A and B are shown apart, each in its own frame.
Chain A
Amino acid sequence: MALLLRTVARQGLCSSRLQLAVLYRHAVPMGTTAKEEMDKFWNKNTRLNRPVSPHISIYQWSVPMMLSISHRGTGVALSSGISAFALAALVLPESYPHYLDLIHSMSFGPQFLAFSKFALAFPVAFHTFNGIRHLLWDLGKGFKIPEVYRSGYIVIALTVLTSIGLAAM
Chain B
Amino acid sequence: MAALVRISYVCHRGVSPLLFRSSSLIRPLAVQKDRDCPYHLISAKIHATPSNYGSGSKAASLHWTGERILSIALLGLAPMAYFYPVPAVDYTLAAALTLHGHWGLGQVLTDYVHGDSKIKMANAGLFLLSSVTFAGLCYFNYHDVGICKAVALLWSK
Name A's B-contacting residues (CB within 8 A).
1, 3-4, 7-8, 14, 16, 18-30, 33-34, 37, 39, 42-43, 46, 72, 75-76, 78-79, 82-83, 85-90, 95-97, 100, 103-104, 113, 117, 128, 131-132, 134-135, 138, 169
Contacts and interface: CB of A to CB of B under 8 A. Distances in A.
B132 interface: yes
Interface of B: 3-4, 6-8, 10-11, 15, 23-35, 39, 41-48, 50, 52, 68, 71-72, 75, 78, 97-98, 101, 104-105, 108, 114-116, 129, 132-137, 139-140, 143-145, 150, 153-155, 157
From DSSP, what is the main secondary structure of chain A's interface residues? helix
A156 to B, nearest CB: 19
Contacts of A23: 3, 28-29, 31, 39, 42
B148 to A, nearest CB: 12
B136 to A, nearest CB: 3
Contacts, number: 161
Given A20-B32, A21-B31, A24-B3, A29 B52 contact: yes
A24 B7 contact: yes
A78 B100 CA distance: 11
Contacts of A72: 108
A20 B42 CA distance: 16
B contacts with A: majority SS: helix
Contacts of A46: 114-115
Nearest to B49: A29
A29 B23 CA distance: 7
A33 B49 CA distance: 9
Nearest to B25: A27
A18 to B, nearest CB: 6
A29 B135 CA distance: 46
Given A23-B31, A89-B137, 6 more contacts: A3-B7, A3-B10, A26-B6, A75-B108, A89-B144, A97-B145
Contacts of A131: 71, 75
Nearest to B40: A23
Contacts of A4: 4, 7-8, 11
Nearest to A169: B155
Nearest to B104: A75
A28 to B, nearest CB: 5
Nearest to B94: A86
A169 B44 CA distance: 60
A7 B4 contact: yes
